[in-house]
Amino acid sequence: MTTVVAVCRSFRDRALARFSHSFPCLSDPAQRSSLGLKVTLVMLHLIIVGILFLFDGNLIEKTKKEPWYTALYLSLFSATLVQYFITSSSSPGYVVDAMRAVNEANVMYQKSSMASKQPASSKNGSLIVTVEGSQSYDQGSNPSSWTKLVMDMYPPGTPIRSCSCSYCNAEQPPRAKHCHDCDKCVLQFDHHCVWLGTCIGRDNHCKFWWYIFEETALCLWTSVLYISFLTANISRSWWKDAIMILLLIVLSISILFLLLLLLFHSYLVLTNQTTYELVRRRRISYLRQVPERVFPFSKGVCRNLYNFCCARSSIYSLEALPSPEELEEKASPYTCLDVLSCRCC
């Protein structure tokens, strides 16, 4: 009997090992939970839209007469799901990736400078690291380590221990934070989204905003179609009405949550903040002394919006902490002259 049990356990272990090797995304409990949430979300979309087309005969007739209307709705439905998968598979921008790129550029510069004994040009591996609020940092003209680059973004005298991650053993630029779910430090960390299964950070915050916008528009349009069906077909079939009312309640709750989330993240975009900075402001060392109504990283509404939408092509554009003079200027109240000069923009 003991031999049989040992053989069964050995067979089970080999089967689990082969399964984990074939499907690595399912071997981790956290990834399995994330995959389950993704499947649930997609199935919920398909069920809500499928039942609408299954029950609403008037919508089918309208599709035959005005196919453009249904085509627009299905296009929004498809675009929302596509945007969901794009956002969930996108990288938020990790500190280790930026650090590796900077160090590799240093090595390439040193090799090229030793070979030519001349300043290396951008074709020989020079890397420009843009530090917003300061001058550009050229790895080719002034080779230095990642630590030196990060420390230059903090006020003079900041100890290296205060900006080092004890988990990744890497120096964090301002606005970076270690995510325990991803087990990596994220540039401009906003939050970890369980429904997407990834962090929201510097490189995918714009994609996340567009996903919320499309999801909100889809839920609003679907609710209008549900209300139209109930208005025209109420009391014809009680079980259909019960299902449609139940799904309409789900849609109403979703719309309320999505609208609040969309407005909240729009406010963060216009003020150049993150959820983590807003919620944990008093726990972040470099924000404790900043007044509540002062947004230290804001460059004006128009420039914040432009940087959020159009200037996210490189993970090497980092933001240095503003100087005391800049903070004092941001804290000063607006005057009529400031309004005329569009200081808020």
What confidence tier does 144 reach under pLDDT thresholds 50, 70, 90?
low
What confidence tier does 16 reach under pLDDT thresholds 50, 70, 90?
very low
DSSP letter assigned to residue 189: -
DSSP 27-70: HSHHHHHHHHHHHHHHHHHHHHHHHHHHH-HHHHHHHHH-HHHH
What tens digit of pLDDT does each residue of 188-240 get? 999 999 889 899 999 999 999 999 999 999 999 999 999 998 888 776 778 88
Report the catalytic residues: 193
Structure tokens at 224: 């209008």
Cα–Cα distance, 16 to 90 (Å, whole number): 29
Cα–Cα distance, 264 to 282 (Å, whole number): 20
Relative to beta strand 318-319, strand 131-132 is parallel
Whether the Cβ atoms of residue 26 and residue 32 lie closer than 8 Å to each other:
yes
Using a cut of 0.85, tell me whether the model's pTM lies above it: no
34 phi, psi to nearest 5 deg: -65, -45
Rounded to 5°, angle at Cα 297 from 291 and 299: 115
What confidence tier does 344 reach under pLDDT thresholds 50, 70, 90?
low
> What pLDDT was estimated at residue 213?
97
In the predicted structure, residue 124 carries a pLDDT above the cut 60:
no
What tens digit of pLDDT does each residue of 21-68 get? 444 444 555 566 778 888 999 999 999 999 998 888 888 888 888 889
